[in-house]
Amino acid sequence: MILPLVLGLGGLLLSVGLIKPAPGDETFAPGAEPVASKTAPAEPPPRPPARPTPGTLVQAQDPSLSPEEAEREVQRELWRKRLERARFTLDTYRESTKYPHESRPISEHPDLVYPQSPERKQPLSRESRDIALRLKQEKVFVVGDEVVRFFVGCDNANSGQPLPCEVHSAVAREAPYMAGAGQAGAVPLDFNDSGRNGDEVAGDSTWTGSFQPARQGFAMFEGTLRIDFRVRSAGNVEGGAFFDIMFTPAPPATFTGKVREVVEQGSLQLYVGLQVRKPGRYVMAGRVDDEGGIPFAYVEFNQELEAGAREVKLTVFGRLIHDKAPAFPLKLRDVEGFLLREQGDPDRELVKALTGYVHTTQEYTPDRFSRDEWESEERRRYLEEYAKDVKEAEEELGKLGGPPGKNPQAP
């Protein structure tokens, strides 16, 4: 009886307004309409301002342009840039391929102007960075009975002034990354600064070591050899370093030393004699200087050769002669190469190089050689494709009323 009496009393008070519903309360008096909430609906977040279009920006710079004219100017600028890029690509490719791969200006190969004779400096040790080791080796590639020399000195790392030091121990062994490293053992080597065994000047603070792999324990080895050595400087400060060489005990082919020259198809061809013992793909290279000994061209050969008496053709391209105008006679020097292996380590068998000048050509006048650029199916195809890009950009720019473009030179 109490619960119905309380509910009835509550409804009566609500109906006469003595009790008011809370905002959002859906309770209502008997017979009354529901009370709607007076809470304002949440407003949507403001929209970010619209980003101006390229045409709008152009119009803002030149209000005299209509929206259509502004958009047209945007398209013209786009095609102007495309045309500029297309012309640059075409011209750059044509210029870089006007000589064949195997006959290039030696200025493109500054690291190959002379055969590798690496020099470097490094700290004597982590603890002694104020002392720098000065290191040089005559060559990296050693073939057959060849001898290689190594030179070690110490300098003040800050001033560059020579410091006294000595190489007190050195050994030759297989490089640690070679398969089966350590099987051949380690062979002690002698370094000296007494003017003997390859050392040129006694007491000049440069220690010299000589190494002939074929006669010092590695006659049957093929691959990379490492010469580890220890150096002691003033104050009994010690450190170490190493040299690496690649050794081929029996070369797969031998240069005969004979070179014949002939002008063929507008270029100067130098045929270098080679006696091939192992057939396969041979990669060869030589340098060509002008009469005064100024490096001029880097010439290469990359072809399959059968066993027997063969020739390596080194081409001095006619257009290259016209463009660089070297003084004749030309001189071929430092011819080197290797037989490329398809599998295995090392990936090559070295041919003993022809060092120094090996041939001097006759004197020729420029009219003996062709001015034509190098041609190949691949080059022609690329030039045609790049020319199409130029033509398309010119046509589109013309449709938009842009400035007339020059026609690309026919490939």
pLDDT band at 65 (very low <50, low <70, confident <90, very high): low
- Quick one: which H or E segment has residue 13? helix 2-15
Which of 71-75, 235-239, 287-291, 348-352 has the least mean pLDDT? 71-75
Which of 144-153, 322-331, 344-353, 395-404 has the least mean pLDDT? 395-404
Q: Which long-range contacts (CB under 8 A, 24 or more apart) does 374-378 make?
A: 374/97, 374/98, 374/99, 374/100, 374/317, 374/319, 376/100
Phi, psi of 138 (to 5 degrees): -65, -40
Q: Do 358 and 257 touch, CB atoms closer than 8 A?
A: yes
Which residues, in sequence order, are bridge partners of residue 41?
Answer: none
pLDDT at 204: 87
**Mean pLDDT calculated for residue range 291-308:** 97
pLDDT at residue 179 tops 70: no
pLDDT at 218: 94
pLDDT at 72: 78
3-class DSSP state of 410: coil
Nearest one of 139, 165, 136 to 151, comparing CA atoms: 136
pLDDT at 30: 52
- In this predicted model, which residue has the larger pLDDT, 99 or 44? 99
Continuous H helices in 290-375: 318-324
Positive or negative, the CA dihedral 398, 404, 406, 410 is positive
Positive or negative, the CA dihedral 215, 183, 119, 199 is negative
Say how far apart CA 221 and CA 140 lie, in whole Å. 16
Tokens 């000047």 belong to residue: 201
In order of 172, 212, 365, the CA distances from 215 in angstroms are 12, 6, 50
Which residues, in sequence order, are bridge partners of residue 238?
Answer: 232
Nearest one of 79, 108, 82, 110 to 95, comparing CA atoms: 108
The per-residue pLDDT for range 196-232, each reduced to its tens digit, is 888 888 888 899 999 999 999 999 999 999 999 999 9
3-class DSSP state of 93: helix
pLDDT band at 45 (very low <50, low <70, confident <90, very high): confident
Positive or negative, the CA dihedral 175, 148, 251, 353 is positive
**Mean pLDDT calculated for residue range 185-201:** 89
The per-residue pLDDT for range 240-286, each reduced to its tens digit, is 999 999 999 999 999 999 999 999 999 999 999 999 999 999 999 99
pLDDT at 342: 86
In order of 58, 284, 292, the CA distances from 331 in angstroms are 62, 17, 9
Q: What share of the chain is helix, strand, coil (3-state, %, to 5)?
A: 25, 35, 40
Paired tokens of 375: 């041609």
pLDDT at residue 47 tops 80: no
In order of 156, 187, 204, 210, 280, the CA distances from 135 in angstroms are 14, 20, 14, 14, 36
- In this predicted model, which residue has the larger pLDDT, 338 or 197? 338
- Quick one: which H or E segment has residue 131? strand 131-137
Q: Which residues contact 369 (CB under 8 A, 6 or more apart)?
A: 263, 266, 267, 268, 318, 319, 321, 322
**Mean pLDDT calculated for residue range 15-38:** 50
**Mean pLDDT for the chain?**
86
pLDDT at 14: 44
pLDDT at residue 175 tops 70: yes
Paired tokens of 317: 């391209």
pLDDT band at 406 (very low <50, low <70, confident <90, very high): very low
pLDDT band at 53 (very low <50, low <70, confident <90, very high): low
Say how far apart CA 388 and CA 310 lie, in whole Å. 44
pLDDT at 181: 58
pLDDT at residue 321 tops 90: yes
How many other CB atoms are found less than 10 A from the CB of residue 408?
19
pLDDT at 195: 87
pLDDT at 183: 66
pLDDT at 32: 53
Of 152-156, 193-197, 357-361, which one has max mean pLDDT?
Answer: 357-361
How many other CB atoms are found less than 10 A from the CB of residue 269?
16
Say how far apart CA 60 and CA 53 lie, in whole Å. 11
Q: Which residues contact 50 (CB under 8 A, 6 or more apart)?
A: none
pLDDT band at 28 (very low <50, low <70, confident <90, very high): very low
Q: Do 311 and 326 touch, CB atoms closer than 8 A?
A: no
pLDDT at residue 160 tops 80: yes
pLDDT at 5: 40
The per-residue pLDDT for range 77-122, each reduced to its tens digit, is 889 999 999 999 999 999 999 999 999 999 999 999 999 888 999 9
- In this predicted model, which residue has the larger pLDDT, 183 or 166? 166
The CA R_g of the chain, rounded to the nearest whole Å, is: 41
pLDDT at 193: 92
Sheet holding 348-360, edge to edge: 103-105, 295-305, 280-289, 331-340, 348-360
Q: Global pTM?
A: 0.76
